[in-house]
């Protein structure tokens, strides 16, 4: 029924625009043309330059025949070209396909083929892998994508450096005049990116996200952090991971500075924080831990407050304390590629302020509540789809509903339907909800250890182990056990000093193992104690997440200890 | 054409929600239940209470038969009930109809009739006017709306106070359990509010706004001010004006505190700023000027930084200096009801910092650039619809395009089509654009004074007059002139001390008039000098805007002076 509030009042050009993050780039390029936008070694670009270069890239891609719904793969590190790709490709209604640069050639080939990539922007560091991937495509009889060589001019020039494609990034840009403004997508529901999740089994799934969600999560980041004009953002988080959690567009909206970084290195991080006045950065726990470790050896004097986001695992008390000691205030967030990066945040309540650090850390280690612009996050019983009681004990599955949720999985209707069953996106993460409404992840469905019929949360054991002073990183997985079915098996990466100590003295290793067991016994029920403890470097994904699936393989052969 | 990025990937419940500000209220009520949300005299409500009361109001209105597209009129001041109405009515998909409480009964009757108000929430202060309005409706044979009496419990209790309707607000709320969550609109394009512009000629026009725009401008406010969690917002701006510029929802999104205020009074304002720790407020220049005036008499010690927004006229240097002296940082914004309040902002550039105050004020007196989440603001030649050159001289009309633009005018297709002609919303304000892209309003189309064929900006003359130390408020309008066609005529409201001085001594008045003329002659070309200067209180709208149309009537009989 048309009422007087609709009659003649349909949307039209003057009052309806597609939500699309390109609008932020055009605004900052025009309003703050002379402000610094990108720093990469000796390279410095203003917002006018970044806008111009992004427009040039969009024009160049259009000249190559790229248009709506064409995938442009990005095999890039956190460099200026990666920032520009995040502006140019959405700004011409094409689709970004960011590749995890640490994957093998076969995986990359799968993504290029499955996502039908028309173009690849490739950093010279990855020419070797990419060449292998293209061989696979050729073997499959697939057309090869156009390769655009990206030669990072912040690196020492190397005239003998190999070239891969016929096209070079800077030359392509130079041929365009940058006169065509970036535009919003034809529809805010159009695909903005295709990102493959590093599936632990089977082929990776292609997460298709849309302009509306990317726009809203970019703004949600700003609201969560109350990010002021001109933040200085350090790229410790790989931009290929969930489009850098949408921060490329958040920074554009506030005309901030992207401080680029090819490789996470705590010495470089502290240098850049001081030198460039970095105010914000994000990362997995391993990034923050490596910084704390470095700060213990060489205490940095930051001279200004810094805000950090941590996701991927709950920040243990030692991490919060360590960061606070350096002058870094940490916000705990949680999310997945399917929900554009951070989708849950743990806002610190005023009442927590006077509590002892351990208690604050325990509260802050919970994942929290929905991100401000996401409509709903609930922990539901996946069988009944009813919310679990808010008792801090009953486990259910974390589910999302709202605008900041993917379109679905590419060419995978079964996976899409399963993920959206019952009108909610099923995260696969198991959690409880506390009486204050904050949720806490207990485990991935597949990470629960079932020992003698009891569910054991591997995360609970990891949290305890993180509080041991020698532990830098830890992962607990299930180990097959004749009697109990499964028992916990812990893999521990030690801090540098402890590593050296036990490398030099096998007896020290055994003493440390016993000390770790004592520590666990103090904080855990007997049936939860790890039955095997292995010291060594942990296998990690490019985003710093520990690869449990690899450890599960090793757990079968771990040596059980008597606890 | 359906591509792989759309196949099977249409919007569904899990990944698409209507943008609607109710979501912010539900979130803060749940995540920050014990935080203070509303202060009004001795009344204090937490976010849990405000959420519960808003839900109760929605349930009570539903019980009265109110639903989608039904208008609920609000004849309220800035009290807790007005905040709750902004949450309950959109949260049940009904339409708010905020009334300018200072209008006469005939205007109110027109709005109730034209907007087909089903219910009126009325503060006891306005029962008299409202009763007159209802008489008019009866005379027109129109059904009367249901009246809900709002009896402000922060006022001294008055058992003899009259009642108007059969229903009383608190009793209605008490009959509901608050169990039904506020919900997003069925469609983000649904009407959220109907607001009548105080048209200077003819009947007022009913501006219909939508949920999508209100949601986005509420967030745009947060981004513009980088508003942190828990801001303390003082209601110096009437909430009935453009839905309080969408700040009721901005404050909800960051779980802030609404500090209510029935009446603008600088003594009360400073008291509340100190007592409640107010961090933000908005208002017309007259609000800020009255505060500066009061601060000169009784210097306040605020003890914490305060941010203010000013709109309605450019802030003169004296105002910026005066506010800075008190410790208030002012942001200059510009907008109209049709664009949800602030739609243009003047961000201060780093390069302005070292400039002398006068120069900074001149730069900051420009209206500026588009609000962060509005898609476009341009100054176009209304004939060719082409942008004017950015020369700071060529005058065009300010036009908007984007999501934060009204649906149109209610039951007024001619006005709607005219307003949206050529795919842009025509503001009726005339402006120039400077080389840095900042626009500056020169006048309303109808405020331009045409003298001997030359266009004279009344605002330019007002800016000069505002710099005179005796001037509190000023308006310049056209006065008929035999030779020149029109000449400028100035109406000046003096500061309290100067008012007293000239009231006591007629010679002092003439001396002051001559001093004002001297001041003008120093800063203006001869043909722009006001030919008449009248001292006295200025007629203002309820939002503090000076009513030039009334002064135009008086200008005809103003006594010309020899300049």
pLDDT in tens, B228-254: 999 999 999 999 999 999 999 999 999
Please write the tens of the pLDDT for every residue from B276-292. Answer: 999 999 998 889 989 99
Residue B171, CA distances (Å) to A33, A50, B56, B60, B482 in order: 57, 59, 11, 10, 64
User: Would the CB atoms of B369 and A30 count as touching at under 8 Å?
Assistant: yes
Please write the tens of the pLDDT for every residue from B447-504. Answer: 778 777 676 778 888 888 988 999 999 999 988 887 777 889 999 999 988 999 998 8
User: What CA–CA distance (Å, rounded) separates A423 from A401?
Assistant: 7
Greater model confidence, B458 or A75: A75
Please write the tens of the pLDDT for every residue from A42-57. Answer: 999 999 999 999 999 9
User: Does the pLDDT at position B562 exceed 70?
Assistant: no
User: Does the pLDDT at position B42 exceed 50?
Assistant: yes
- Sheet holding A95-98: strands in order across? A167-168, A146-150, A117-123, A71-75, A95-98, A191-196, A206-210, A408-409
Closest of B323, B304, B312, B307 to residue B361, by C-alpha:
B323
- Segments of A13-91 assigned E as strands: 36-40, 43-46, 71-75
Mean pLDDT value across chain B: 92
User: Would the CB atoms of A27 and B369 count as touching at under 8 Å?
Assistant: yes
Q: What is the pLDDT of residue A527?
A: 80
Q: How confident is the model at residue A442 (pLDDT cuts 50, 70, 90)?
A: confident
Q: What's the mean pLDDT in B208-229?
A: 98
**How far away is chain B from the Cα of A302, in angstroms, using its nearest Cα?**
23
Q: What is the pLDDT of residue A124?
A: 95
Sign of CA dihedral B346, B348, B352, B354: positive
Q: How confident is the model at residue B390 (pLDDT cuts 50, 70, 90)?
A: very high
User: Does the pLDDT at position A468 exceed 60?
Assistant: yes
Q: In the structure encoding, which two tokens stand for residue B127, read together?
A: 């029962």
A555 and A486 Cβ atoms separated by less than 8 Å: no
List the beta bridge partners of residue B485: B451, B481
Q: How confident is the model at residue B189 (pLDDT cuts 50, 70, 90)?
A: very high
User: Would the CB atoms of B420 and A9 count as touching at under 8 Å?
Assistant: no
Parallel, antiparallel, or unpaired for β B36-40 and B43-46? antiparallel
Chain A residues in contact with B351 (beta carbon < 8 A): 34
Q: What is the pLDDT of residue A200?
A: 45
Q: What is the pLDDT of residue B165?
A: 87
User: What CA–CA distance (Å, rounded) separates B213 from B336?
Assistant: 13
Q: How confident is the model at residue B553 (pLDDT cuts 50, 70, 90)?
A: confident
With 0-12 / 13-18 / 19 or more C-beta atoms within 10 angstroms meaning exposed / middle / buried, residue A299 is: exposed
Q: How confident is the model at residue A542 (pLDDT cuts 50, 70, 90)?
A: low
Chain A, nearest residue to B207 by Cα: A5
Where is average pLDDT lowest: A23-27, A444-448, B50-54, B147-151? A444-448
Main-chain phi, psi angles of B414, to 5 degrees: -65, -50
Mean pLDDT value across chain A: 92
Q: What is the pLDDT of residue B185?
A: 96
Interface of B with A in 15-44 (CB under 8 A): 15-17, 19, 23-24, 27, 30-32, 34-35
User: What CA–CA distance (Å, rounded) separates A443 from A462?
Assistant: 11
User: Would the CB atoms of A223 and B228 count as touching at under 8 Å?
Assistant: no
Where is average pLDDT lowest: B24-38, B195-209, B365-379, B511-525? B195-209
**pLDDT over 90 percentage in chain B:** 75
User: Does the pLDDT at position A161 exceed 50?
Assistant: yes
Greater model confidence, A464 or B114: B114
A493 and A537 Cβ atoms separated by less than 8 Å: yes
Greater model confidence, A408 or B525: A408
Q: What's the mean pLDDT in A78-96?
A: 98
Closest of B175, B159, B335, B312 to residue B245, by C-alpha:
B335
Residues composing chain B: 563
Chain B residues in contact with A205 (beta carbon < 8 A): none
Q: What's the mean pLDDT in B346-364?
A: 91
Q: What is the pLDDT of residue A484?
A: 77
User: Would the CB atoms of A223 and B253 count as touching at under 8 Å?
Assistant: yes
Q: What is the pLDDT of residue A198?
A: 62
User: Does the pLDDT at position A155 exceed 90?
Assistant: no
Q: How confident is the model at residue B559 (pLDDT cuts 50, 70, 90)?
A: low
CA atoms within 13 A on the CB side of A20: 30
Parallel, antiparallel, or unpaired for β B425-433 and B396-401? antiparallel
Contact A254/B at CB under 8 A: yes
Q: What is the pLDDT of residue A458?
A: 85
Where is average pLDDT lowest: A412-421, A474-483, B15-24, B403-412? A474-483
């Amino acid at each position: 029924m048309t009422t007087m509030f609709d009659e003649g009042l349909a949307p039209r050009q003057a009052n309806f625009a597609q939500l699309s993050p390109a609008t932020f780039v055009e605004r900052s390029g025009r309003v703050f043309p002379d402000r610094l936008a990108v720093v990469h070694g000796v390279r410095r670009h203003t917002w006018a330059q970044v806008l111009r270069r992004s427009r040039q890239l969009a024009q160049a891609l259009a000249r190559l025949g790229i248009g709506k719904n064409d995938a442009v793969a990005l095999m890039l590190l956190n460099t200026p070209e990666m920032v520009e790709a995040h502006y140019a490709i959405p700004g011409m209604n094409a689709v970004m396909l960011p590749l995890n640069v640490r994957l093998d050639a076969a995986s990359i080939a799968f993504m290029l083929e499955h996502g039908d990539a028309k173009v690849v922007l490739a950093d010279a560091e990855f020419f070797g892998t990419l060449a292998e991937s293209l061989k696979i495509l050729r073997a499959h009889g697939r057309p090869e994508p156009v390769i655009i060589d990206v030669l990072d001019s912040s690196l020492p020039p190397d005239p003998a450096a190999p070239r891969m494609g016929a096209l070079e990034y800077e030359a392509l840009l130079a041929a365009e005049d940058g006169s065509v403004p970036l535009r919003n997508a034809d529809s805010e529901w159009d695909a903005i990116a295709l990102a493959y999740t590093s599936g632990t089994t089977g082929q990776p799934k292609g997460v298709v996200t849309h302009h509306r969600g990317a726009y809203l999560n970019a703004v949600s980041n700003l609201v969560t952090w109350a990010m002021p004009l001109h933040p200085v953002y350090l790229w410790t988080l790989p931009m290929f991971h969930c489009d850098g959690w949408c921060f490329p567009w958040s920074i554009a909206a506030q005309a901030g500075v992207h401080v680029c970084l090819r490789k996470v290195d705590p010495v470089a991080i502290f240098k850049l924080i001081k030198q460039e006045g970095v105010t914000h950065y994000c990362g997995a726990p391993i990034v923050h831990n490596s910084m704390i470790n470095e700060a213990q050896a060489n205490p940095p004097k930051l001279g200004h407050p810094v805000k950090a986001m941590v996701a991927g695992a709950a920040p243990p008390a030692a991490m919060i304390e360590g960061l606070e000691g350096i002058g870094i205030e940490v916000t705990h967030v949680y999310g997945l590629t399917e929900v554009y990066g951070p989708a849950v945040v743990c806002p610190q309540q005023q009442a927590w302020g006077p509590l002892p650090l351990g208690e604050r850390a325990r509260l802050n280690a919970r994942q929290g509540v929905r991100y401000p612009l996401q409509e709903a996050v609930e922990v539901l019983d996946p069988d009944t789809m009813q919310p679990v009681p808010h008792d801090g004990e009953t486990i259910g599955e974390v589910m999302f509903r709202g605008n900041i949720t993917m379109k679905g999985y590419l060419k995978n209707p079964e996976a899409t339907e399963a993920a959206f069953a019952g009108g909610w996106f099923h995260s696969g993460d198991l959690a409880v909800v506390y009486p204050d409404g904050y949720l806490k992840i207990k485990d991935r469905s597949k990470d629960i250890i079932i020992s003698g019929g009891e569910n054991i949360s591997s995360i609970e054991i990891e949290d305890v182990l993180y509080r041991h002073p020698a532990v830098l990183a830890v992962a607990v997985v299930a180990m097959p056990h004749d009697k109990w079915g499964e028992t916990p098996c812990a893999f521990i990466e030690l801090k540098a000093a402890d590593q050296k100590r036990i490398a030099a003295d096998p007896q020290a290793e055994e003493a440390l193992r016993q000390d770790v067991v004592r520590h666990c016994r103090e904080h855990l029920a007997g049936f939860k104690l790890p039955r095997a403890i292995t010291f060594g470097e942990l296998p990690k994904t490019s985003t710093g997440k520990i690869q449990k699936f690899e450890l599960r393989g090793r757990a079968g052969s771990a040596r059980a200890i008597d606890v």
